[in-house]
Amino acid sequence: MAAGRERLYLFDTTLRDGAQTNGVDFTLTDKLAITRMLDDLGIDYVEGGYPGANPADTQLFAEPRMLRTTFTAFGMTRRPGRSTSNDPGLAALLEAKADAICFVAKSWDYHVRVALETTLEENLASIRDSVKAALAKGREVLLDCEHFFDGYKANPQYALACAKAAYEAGARWVVLCDTNGGALPHEVEAIVREVVKHIPGGNVGIHAHNDTEQAVANSFAAVRAGARQIQGTLNGLGERCGNANLVSIIPTLKLKPEYAEVFEIGVSDEQLKKLSHTSHELDERLNRSPNRHAPYVGESAFATKAGIHASAIMKEPATYEHVAPDAVGNKRKLLVSDQAGRSNVLAELERIGIAVDRNDPRVGRLLDVVKEREAIGYAYETADASFELLARRMLGTVPKFFDVTYFDVKVEQRAQNGHGQGTGPEVLTTAVVKVKVGNETFINAAEGNGPVNALDVALRKDLGKFQKFIAGLKLTDYRVRILNSGTEAVTRVLIESEDETGEHWTTIGVSPNIIDASFQALMDSIVYKLVRSGAPA
Ligand SMILES: [Zn+2]
C-alpha cells in the first residue's frame, strides 16, 4: 500500500499567523527554537514571518539555517498602481533569505474595491507580477487567497480568477483561506471540489480558522475534495479562536486508516512520538499550562476514571482507546480517585513501574490512604508525582534524603524611602529553612517574590550532596484552590515542575494554611526529582 500513497504537505504558520494570538509575543530566540521544533517534527513548510515588517522577522530571515523544512517568508503582493521594481515592501520580501515566498492577495471582489481601492483587473495583474518576480528570484511561490470562501460565495468567477492567475503565473501552491473562519465543512468540501476542476488538487492548499471550532474538520473536508496542502499552527495558535491545529491533524493523518492508507506526510512514526512533547514545549515557552483535554496529546486524552473500565483496559487497552497513546508520545493514565477500585491502583502502580502482587495487603492499605486523603482535599489523579511518592513510601522504597527541621517565612511591609512617588509601600518576603542532610545541617535564607517563592528558593538553595541532582529542577506552574469542605476551608496547592530532560510532574499539598500546603507540594517535587535521578540516599 505504502508505494501508492499520495504525498500530502503540511505548512506551519505558528510563527506568522500564530503570532497574532492574544498574549503571544515571540522573541527572535523563541522563533529560532520553534523553527527547530517544527523541523524536527518533519513539517514540510515553516512560515517564519514577515521580513521587512518588523526588526525581529527581518533578523530571523538573515540568520543562517540548516533546516530540512522549506523556510517561507510571508508578505503582500505588489501594491496596486506600482511596478514590482518600485515597491519597497515587495523588494524586502524578495531579498529575504527564504526558500519560498507566500504572498497574500485578496480574492473577494468586495475587498478589492473597498479595502484595496483598486480595480479587479489590477488585483489580478498584481498577483501575476508578484508570482513571476518571486520565481525570477528562484523562490518557490505560494499564494494565499484571502477570504477565498466568502469571496467565492459572493462572486465565484472572480475568486477563481485570482486562484488561476497565481497558478498560471507559476505558483507551486494556491492556498484557499477561510480568513474569517466562518465556513462550514460541507461548504469547504463543495467549493474545493469546484476549484480542483480548474487547478490540480496537488497545487491546492487549505488555510482554515477556528471560529466555529471546525478548522480541523474544514481542513479534512478540503483534503477529501482534493486539496493536498494543509496549513495550520501548533496547538491551534492564532488570532481570535485560532488556526487549524496541526497537533490534532497530524495524528489523524498518521493513525486513521482512511487517511494513513491513502496519504503520506513528512512526519515519520518516530517523529510522531515527539508530538506530545512538542506541544507541551510550546506551551512551556509561552508560559501557559498545557490543555489537559487536548486530543491526542493532553494529559487526560488517555485517562480513564471508572474502576470497571480500568480493569478492562489492563486486559485489553484497545477496548477503551481509539489509538495507542505511545504513538503520539502520550501515556495511558488510570485515575486514582475515590470512585476507583483496586484495579485502578494496581494499574497505576504498574504504569509507574512498581511491581507488586495483586493480593499484597499493602495495596488495600494504599487504597484506604488514598481514599482518606482525597476525602480531605487531595486529588491524586492530578498529582501523579505525589501519588507515586505515596505509593513508594507505603511499599517502603523512598530513601530519607533529608529532613527539614525548621522553617520560617516572614512578610514585611515597609514604607518606601521616596515618599509621595506613588509607588506604595514595599513588601519584603524572606524565608529561612534548616535542612539536615546526613550529619550536616544547612541553614538557608532567601528573599523571594512572595512567601511561596521565598520558601522554594531557600529550600533548594543548598541541599549539600543532593544539590547537583536538583540543579535542573524548575517550578513551571503553581495553582491554589480554596476548598470548603465541612466547617473549615482548606487550601489545595498544585505545583507543576520540570527538569532538564523535559519531564513534567505535578505534586500536591493540602492544609488549612497555604504556606504549609505549598511546603508539602514543594517537598514532594524535590523528593520526586531525587528519586527520578537515582540520587543515592
Ligand atoms: Zn490566517
H/E stretch holding 528 reads helix 514-532
Contact assessment for residue 169 and residue 199, using Cβ atoms and an 8 Å cutoff: no
**Residues whose beta carbons lie less than 5 angstroms from ion ligand 1:** 17
User: Cα separation of 140 and 131, whole Å?
Assistant: 9
Give mean pLDDT, residues 377-381: 83
CA of 104 from ligand 1 middle (Å) equals: 10
Q: Choose between 396 and 141: higher pLDDT.
A: 141
Q: Tens of pLDDT along 298-339?
A: 988 988 765 566 667 667 777 778 999 999 999 887 665 544
Contact assessment for residue 148 and residue 124, using Cβ atoms and an 8 Å cutoff: no
CA of 243 from ligand 1 middle (Å) equals: 7
Contact assessment for residue 344 and residue 307, using Cβ atoms and an 8 Å cutoff: yes
CA of 178 from ligand 1 middle (Å) equals: 7
CA of 210 from ligand 1 middle (Å) equals: 10
User: Cα separation of 227 and 202, whole Å?
Assistant: 6
Query: Which range among 181-190, 266-275, 336-345, 488-497 shows the weakest confidence by mean pLDDT?
Result: 336-345
CA of 536 from ligand 1 middle (Å) equals: 53
CA of 374 from ligand 1 middle (Å) equals: 45
User: Cα separation of 507 and 491, whole Å?
Assistant: 14
Contact assessment for residue 301 and residue 295, using Cβ atoms and an 8 Å cutoff: yes
pLDDT at residue 531 greater than cutoff 70: yes
CA of 13 from ligand 1 middle (Å) equals: 8
What is the b/e burial string over 490-527, where b = at least 16 CB atoms within 10 angstroms of the residue's CB?
bbbbbbbbbbeeeebbbbbbbbeebbebbbbbbbbbbb
Q: Which three cell numbers stand for residue 122?
A: 489590477
Q: Please tell me the predicted confidence (pLDDT) of residue 1.
A: 44
CA of 156 from ligand 1 middle (Å) equals: 21
Contact assessment for residue 44 and residue 10, using Cβ atoms and an 8 Å cutoff: yes
CA of 179 from ligand 1 middle (Å) equals: 5
Query: Collapsing DSSP states into helix, strand and coil, what is residue 154?
Result: helix
What is the b/e burial string over 199-238, where b = at least 16 CB atoms within 10 angstroms of the residue's CB?
bebbbbbbbbbbbbebbbbbbbbbbebbbbbbbbbbbbbb
Phi-psi region of 403 (alpha: psi -120 to 50; beta: other; left: phi over 0): beta
CA of 208 from ligand 1 middle (Å) equals: 7
CA of 261 from ligand 1 middle (Å) equals: 29
User: Cα separation of 431 and 460, whole Å?
Assistant: 12
Residue (of 363, 387, 345) closest to 521 by Cα position: 387
The residues near 251 (Cβ < 8 Å, ≥ 6 apart) are 272, 275, 296, 323, 327, 328
User: Cα separation of 167 and 127, whole Å?
Assistant: 10
H/E stretch holding 55 reads helix 55-62
Pairing, β 488-498 against β 426-437: unpaired
CA of 130 from ligand 1 middle (Å) equals: 20
Residue with the three cell numbers 518516530:
270
User: Cα separation of 398 and 4, whole Å?
Assistant: 54
CA of 239 from ligand 1 middle (Å) equals: 8
CA of 144 from ligand 1 middle (Å) equals: 9
The model carries a pTM of: 0.72
Q: Please tell me the predicted confidence (pLDDT) of residue 383.
A: 87
CA of 429 from ligand 1 middle (Å) equals: 46
Phi-psi region of 348 (alpha: psi -120 to 50; beta: other; left: phi over 0): alpha
CA of 40 from ligand 1 middle (Å) equals: 24
φ and ψ at residue 508, rounded to 5 degrees: -135, 150
pLDDT at residue 419 greater than cutoff 60: no
Q: Please tell me the predicted confidence (pLDDT) of residue 338.
A: 43
pLDDT class of 381 with cuts at 50, 70, 90: confident
What is the secondary structure of 464-518 as a DSSP string? GGGHHHHTT-EEEEEEEEEEEETTEEEEEEEEEEE-TT--EEEEEEEESSHHHHH
User: Cα separation of 340 and 470, whole Å?
Assistant: 34
**Cα-based angle 306, 307, 313 (whole degrees, multiple of 5):** 90
CA of 328 from ligand 1 middle (Å) equals: 26
**DSSP, res 212:** T
Give mean pLDDT, residues 216-242: 98
Q: Tens of pLDDT along 501-527?
A: 888 899 999 999 999 999 999 999 999
CA of 5 from ligand 1 middle (Å) equals: 29
Percent of residues, the chain, with pLDDT higher than 90: 68
CA of 15 from ligand 1 middle (Å) equals: 11
DSSP alpha helix (H) spans, 170-295: 185-195, 215-225, 246-255, 257-260, 269-272, 275-285
CA of 207 from ligand 1 middle (Å) equals: 7
pLDDT at residue 348 greater than cutoff 50: yes
Exposure on the CB side of residue 70, measured as CA atoms within 13 A: 17
CA distances from 22 to 25, 27, 238, 476, 477 (A): 9, 15, 8, 21, 20
pLDDT at residue 72 greater than cutoff 50: yes
Q: Please tell me the predicted confidence (pLDDT) of residue 126.
A: 97
pLDDT at residue 264 greater than cutoff 90: yes
Percent of residues, the chain, with pLDDT higher than 70: 94
CA distances from 86 to 130, 285, 480 (A): 12, 40, 58
User: Cα separation of 43 and 29, whole Å?
Assistant: 19
Q: Choose between 342 and 77: higher pLDDT.
A: 77
Q: Which three cell numbers stand for residue 412?
A: 514585611
Dihedral (CA of 524, 525, 527, 531) sign = positive
pLDDT at residue 418 greater than cutoff 60: no
| 212-221, 369-378, 422-431, 456-465 — most confident range | 212-221
CA of 231 from ligand 1 middle (Å) equals: 9
CA distances from 254 to 6, 106, 243 (A): 13, 33, 20
pLDDT class of 205 with cuts at 50, 70, 90: very high
CA of 107 from ligand 1 middle (Å) equals: 14
Q: What is the mean pLDDT of the chain?
A: 91
CA of 277 from ligand 1 middle (Å) equals: 25
